[in-house]
Amino acid sequence: MESQKKEILKSLKDGNKLTQIDAFELFKCWRLAARIKNLRDDGHQIHTEIVTLPNKKRIAYYSLIKEAPHEMASIT
């Protein structure tokens, strides 16, 4: 779980928007929403965009708004 969280955060930092399908294909993560909650609990600001497809199904896209302050400090 911890390594998935790090991989997801890195992808979001790189400017990618992630969906559940992306998370499974890239990181073998079945529970992206749970990992996003973990990242939010760590202080990261993550935006959720819900898109309704033509078939009426909905998909969540996650993107990073702002890193947690302690993460930014460890980079510099």
Mean pLDDT, the chain, whole residue set? 92
Whether residue 8 contacts residue 18, with contact meaning beta carbons closer than 8 Å, is answered with: yes
Residue 21 belongs to what domain range? Answer: 2-75
**CATH at 20:** 1.10.10
Phi/psi class of residue 61: alpha, beta or left (left: φ > 0; alpha: ψ in -120 to 50)? Answer: beta
**Does residue 75 have a pLDDT over 70?**
no
What pLDDT does residue 74 have? 54
- Count up the domains in the chain and report the number: 1
Indicate the pTM of the whole model.
Answer: 0.86
CB contact at 8 A, 4 and 31? no
Q: Strand, helix or coil at 26? A: helix
